Chains A and B, each alone.
Chain A
């Protein structure tokens, strides 16, 4: 029954989509090669730069989640809040109960997704600015929760001195050796793996039927529900996937920094995750990655300006929006070939 429904926007480029499937896969391999081979070869000796790339990969991983909520037509500013939840789940489990990091990582995502589902079910009824404002409040509420229950979260002192990830072994076979103190490469590879898995899953989701359903939610929820789509179910699923990304990313950052404070993820981080999606371009799965790459490397390049760094950075951000209101990739696309019938 459901299979016979043809969405207004997928019936057009059906054949085109299949033939061009090679291009995204090629692009993915190119990114993987650049990240796993080229960067360690060129910058391998520079620990600081490796850290920057690690952060960039993990941040774009979290931003993929924001991108997905954009795909269903919601402006999600709760991402930092759910990242904080993920970070605390890992920190508490690792430090109090001694659970292995490799179990905590997916578990943090699952907890964040579960909470996201619970909160998202009622909150997703709101649209537009209301949703943006309420999700901003959720981020702030997460910070206050961490502050208000010191018995569990140790309040403003934060949970510090988290152990590094131990070895991951299956049937006595070591798959990933234990992380050594001070070694940056393991975290670098872990962040890259997360990023590529996240990107790959987003791409699969976006090109599948579910992706078309998500886009239809953005265009017109009433019309989508008239076609027999369970709107409430799909938007909660999209939000939960987004929260899963946030939770896993938060757990990664908690372990990378070996500590977590209520201010580890705050409203400004939510804004930045959104900025990365925008700067890259909302019509492209790879947008958050491009945005994070451009914005974070320009932030690092401005490092010399010391205390003027943030001013110049935000000034550039405003300039970026002024000159390219539809994202960097939209400019690249326009110069490459004439404007296609986009889904927007």
Chain B
């Protein structure tokens, strides 16, 4: 059981990172980023290319995965979402736009990266014994890095001026603009931060699981499950949702045959949403 709990911790911390990214985008833009899983996948490939193909250190690749996928997000905001959001009659169109982007990125990745599964050499060797369970050192490194990143992100949003502006924009765009905050710059940056986190978690997880071009949709669905459990648009809810899903998944995989686990998770989430439609931490959204 300790083993299962430790696995849940590994998966949970990285999932929390994914959920945080999608939550930031949702809370400031009111857009559900359906392309999140595809951006995650691209992050994984960025690390693979820098580490394996170009022979540079893993950590350099990780930084690059944040920067490259983050810049991709900024471009998406500037050239796709902003012009469409200004002109649409119905807000669903932005969701469709995100889906179109997801299909586009995935088919583009299939051409550029190919169909093969890609992994990187282990970032650390050896096995650590912890409370009677054995865990490869690489996984512990991933947990620690992911936890540090989450802490850094929460500190950034909670205590810096930019973070405060982001929170203000999530609450009320117009009032924030009246306070002299440059919304154009800020929303592009917030979008880039969210997608950058997707890239970062993809880059981090490629150290444990191999990545392939079709991985995106499954990750997007998991991200939706997490924010539905935790509550859309709430950062603490995203972290909680990540850990809950990580726990359910690890327990499920330990006890049940493969495809049944997620079927049961879906049923649990549907039943849970009937009781609490806004998730654990969520506030009602219009």
Q: Which residues of A contact B (CB under 8 A)?
A: 70, 75, 119, 122-123, 125-130, 132-134, 136-138, 140-141, 144-145, 147-148, 267-268, 271, 274-275, 278, 282, 307-308, 310-311, 314-315, 317-318, 321-322, 325-326, 344
Contacts and interface: CB of A to CB of B under 8 A. Distances in A.
Contacts of A129: 26, 32, 95, 232, 285
B262 A271 contact: no
B236 interface: no
Contact of A282 (B90, B97, B259, B274): B90
B270 interface: yes
> Which label, helix, strand, loop or mixed, suits the secondary structure of the B interface?
helix
B263 A145 contact: yes
A267 B107 CA distance: 15
B270 A137 contact: yes
B221 A318 contact: no
Contacts of B26: 129
A136 B108 CA distance: 23
Nearest to B271: A122
Given A125-B277, A314-B107, A321-B97, A326 B32 contact: no
A130 B277 contact: yes
A137 B221 contact: yes
B112 to A, nearest CB: 10
Contacts of B97: 318, 321
B72 to A, nearest CB: 14
B101 interface: yes
16 contacts: A75-B92, A125-B277, A126-B273, A126-B277, A130-B228, A141-B262, A148-B257, A148-B260, A274-B99, A275-B99, A278-B92, A314-B100, A317-B103, A321-B97, A325-B88, A325-B93
B123 interface: no
A308 B107 CA distance: 8
Which 4 A-B residue pairs are closest in the complex by CB-CB distance? A310-B107, A314-B104, A314-B103, A141-B266
Given A314-B104, A315-B104, A322-B83, A134 B92 contact: no
Contacts of B96: 274-275, 278, 321
B76 to A, nearest CB: 10
Contacts of A148: 257, 259-260, 263
B161 interface: no
Main secondary structure of the interface of A (DSSP, over half): helix
A41 B87 CA distance: 42
Contact of B232 (A70, A130, A137, A308): A130
B148 interface: no
Contact of B32 (A70, A132, A315, A344): A132
B259 to A, nearest CB: 4
Given A267-B221, A275-B100, A322-B80, A141 B32 contact: no
Interface in B204-254: 217, 221, 224-225, 227-228, 232
A123 B267 CA distance: 12
Given A123-B273, A128-B285, A321-B96, 14 more contacts: A75-B92, A122-B274, A126-B277, A128-B286, A130-B273, A130-B277, A133-B224, A134-B228, A138-B266, A274-B96, A307-B111, A311-B104, A317-B104, A321-B100
Contacts of B80: 318, 322
A5 B228 CA distance: 38
Interface of B: 26, 32, 80, 83-84, 87-90, 92-93, 95-97, 99-101, 103-104, 107-108, 110-111, 217, 221, 224-225, 227-228, 232, 257, 259-260, 262-263, 266-267, 269-270, 273-274, 277-278, 285-286
Nearest to B225: A137
Contacts of B225: 137
Contacts of A133: 32, 224, 227-228
A344 B92 CA distance: 13
A144 B103 contact: no
A144 B259 contact: yes
Contacts of A321: 84, 93, 96-97, 100
A271 B108 contact: no
B103 A310 contact: yes
B122 to A, nearest CB: 31
A148 to B, nearest CB: 5
A136 B84 contact: no
A125 B80 CA distance: 31
B95 A140 contact: no
Contacts of A318: 80, 97, 100-101, 104
A178 B80 CA distance: 51
Contacts of B90: 282, 326, 344
A123 B100 contact: no
A283 to B, nearest CB: 9
B108 A311 contact: yes
Nearest to A267: B217
B44 to A, nearest CB: 20
Given A268-B103, A321-B100, A137 B93 contact: no
Nearest to B227: A133
Given A314-B107, A322-B80, A122 B100 contact: no
Contacts of B93: 278, 321, 325-326
Contact of A326 (B89, B267, B269): B89
A127 B96 CA distance: 16
Nearest to A321: B97
Contacts of A127: 286
Contacts of A147: 259
Given A141-B267, A275-B100, A310-B103, A75 B273 contact: no
A344 B91 CA distance: 12
A218 B15 CA distance: 34
B100 A344 contact: no
A133 B23 CA distance: 14
Nearest to B262: A144
